[in-house]
Structure 1
Amino acid sequence: MLAVTGATGQLGRLVIEALLKKVPAQQIVAAVRNPDKAKDLAAKGIQVRLADYNHPNTLVSAFANVDKLLLISSSEIGKRTEQHKAVIDAAKAAGVSLLAYTSLLHTDTSPLMLAEEHSATEAYIKQSGIPAVILRNGWYSENYTGSVAAALSHGAVFGCAKDGKLATASRADYAAAAAAVLTQPDQAGKVYELAGDNAFTLTQYAAYISAASGKKVEYKNLSQAEYIKLLEQVGLPAAVASMLGDSEAGAAQGALFDNSKQLSALIGRPTTPIAQSIKAVL
């Protein structure tokens, strides 16, 4: 049995879709916080089980008879370490033979504030003794393409990444990688640094939007403080704005760049170019 936590989330659903191309639905467990949101998965023959990171008593039963488990990192920044520990403890108690975890690109050396909880989780997995494979995911292209409309409205992409290179890939690419490690043999002990094949700067990103839309869009680089203030002005919570500002500043230092092409090697095809993702949004 293969189980995926957060199976109704943006990444989780894509992992389920990728797994359905490889194994029968009856071999897949969708571990979710709200089973009502997974009725469509149950209709396909997938086993839907309650698994709430904040309620550890739900986790051991959710992982019963599970051979391989994908722990998709929580989205609750500041709470993730304890939530992940609960999942790891339950996986060990349930006798899971392989734990896959979606971490962060170059977690061990990353300057990003996001790396702290991922690093703590990786350490706890190692301490647990569970055979594991670490998927150090880079930035999702959707982190940028979700604001294409705003860029067109203002004629500008705002950020504080300077000329830092961003090796993004689509969520579907990262989902395919997760499905691959769950279905391929001999994955225990591996650490993958996953990123897109073709990196770009935000200046290039703005040019891609211009080319795809026919409207001139420029990149306007701000200071980290200015960018955080702008994000707060458009309605983002202060904590989220600070995290995004920190990530962009880290990108200026190369924290979101990797050219090892481990992602495309793992999924057996090139990763999705950012220009293609932009066109899909438009």
Structure 2
Amino acid sequence: MIAITGASGQLGRLVIEALLKKLPAAEIVAAVRNPDRVADLATRGVNIRHADYNQPATLEAAFRGVDKLLLISSSEVGSRLPQHRAVIEAASRAGVKLIAYTSLLHADTSPLGLADEHKATEALLKDSGVPFVLLRNGWYSENYLASVPTALQFGALIGSAGDGRIASAARADYAAAAAAVLTADDQAGRVYELAGDASYSLAELAAEVARQSGQPVVYQNLPEAEFKAALVGAGLPEGFAGLLADSDAGAAQGALFDDSHQLSQLIGRPTTPIAAQIKPVLDALHNMPAK
């Protein structure tokens, strides 16, 4: 059996859907904090098991009988390491034969603050004795697409990435790669640097939003501190705003770029260009009821 942690999350659900195209539902385990959130998967025959990163006692039972486990990194930045340690230790006790971990692009050399917990988790895996494979995911295009409505409202996309190239891909592309690795043989010890086939600068992204929307949108580059302050002013928590600003500043140093094409090679097709994802965002905005 193959188990997916965080299976009710955005990436986890997409991985489950990708696996359902390859395996019978009875061979898939959705390990989740709140089983009610995946009741629809249960009706399709997926095994639902309670697994809370913050309740280690739930984890070993959830992983019993599991051959391969996808550890999707926790969304609780700053608390990830103890949570990941609990998962890895429970998987070891349960006899899991392979852990696939969603790390960060070039985690071992990345200047991003986000890399710290990923590097530490990779070290835990190396020390655990459980065979593992690293899925070092690059940036999700959705991270930038979330800024499109605000960019259209104010005519500007703001950031701190300068002219840095960003090789993002759709979240579904990364999910397909995870499913491919989980259903393949001889994956232990492999490290995949996963990113989109095509790269862009934020100025190019702003120009593409302007082209598709027919509205003026330009890129406004800000110092990291000013970008963070703008995000806080927009209502984001200070810690999260700091991580986003740090990531943009890292992008200016090439931290979100990779041209190895390992992602498209894994999924057997080109990755989804961000330009193709802008139209659905625009369509959703147009279909929103007027206030």
| TM-score bin, normalised by smaller chain | over 0.9
SS of the equivalent of 2:229 reads: helix
Which one-letter code corresponds to 2:221 in the other structure? N
2:132 is the counterpart of 1:132:
yes
2:287 maps to none
Which one-letter code corresponds to 1:119 in the other structure? K
SS of the equivalent of 2:166 reads: coil
* TM-fit CA distance, 1:145: 0.6
SS of the equivalent of 2:172 reads: helix
Which one-letter code corresponds to 2:150 in the other structure? A
2:39 maps to 39
Identity level (%): 66
Q: Report Cα offsets for 1:37-86 as digits up to 9, x if no partner.
A: 11001011000000000000000000000000000000001100110000
SS of the equivalent of 2:113 reads: coil
* TM-score after normalising by structure 1: 0.99
1:223 maps to 223
* TM-fit CA distance, 1:26: 0.5
1:68 maps to 68
Misfit runs of 4+, over 6 Å:
none
SS of the equivalent of 2:100 reads: strand
What does residue range 153-192 of structure 1 map to in structure 2 within 5 Å?
153-192=153-192
* TM-fit CA distance, 1:146: 1.3
Task: State the aligned residue count.
Answer: 282
2:114 maps to 114
* TM-fit CA distance, 1:216: 1.4
Which one-letter code corresponds to 2:108 in the other structure? D
Whole-angstrom distance in 1 between the partners of 2:29 and 2:178: 14
Q: Which runs of 5+ in 2 are unaligned?
A: 283-291
2:239 maps to 239
Q: Report Cα offsets for 1:181-201 as digits up to 9, x if no partner.
A: 000111111000000000000
* TM-fit CA distance, 1:212: 1.0
Whole-angstrom distance in 2 between the partners of 1:161 and 1:147: 14
Which one-letter code corresponds to 1:27 in the other structure? E
SS of the equivalent of 1:101 reads: strand
2:123 maps to 123
Whole-angstrom distance in 1 between the partners of 2:189 and 2:13: 26
1:275 maps to 275
SS of the equivalent of 1:70 reads: strand
Whole-angstrom distance in 2 between the partners of 1:179 and 1:51: 20
Whole-angstrom distance in 2 between the partners of 1:250 and 1:51: 33
1:211 maps to 211
Whole-angstrom distance in 1 between the partners of 2:229 and 2:70: 36
1:197 maps to 197
Whole-angstrom distance in 1 between the partners of 2:125 and 2:47: 26
Which one-letter code corresponds to 1:136 in the other structure? R
* TM-fit CA distance, 1:281: 1.3
1:27 maps to 27
Which one-letter code corresponds to 1:78 in the other structure? G
Whole-angstrom distance in 2 between the partners of 1:274 and 1:37: 29
SS of the equivalent of 2:112 reads: coil
Whole-angstrom distance in 1 between the partners of 2:279 and 2:43: 32
What RMSD over aligned residues (CA atoms) do the two structures have, in Å? 0.5
Q: Report Cα offsets for 1:121-160 as digits up to 9, x if no partner.
A: 0000000011111000000000011121111111110000
1:145 maps to 145
* TM-fit CA distance, 1:245: 0.6
1:8 maps to 8
SS of the equivalent of 1:92 reads: helix
* TM-score after normalising by structure 2: 0.96
Which one-letter code corresponds to 1:146 in the other structure? A
Whole-angstrom distance in 2 between the partners of 1:62 and 1:244: 33
Q: Report Cα offsets for 1:161-196 as digits up to 9, x if no partner.
A: 000000000000000000000001111110000000
Q: Which runs of 5+ in 1 are unaligned?
A: none
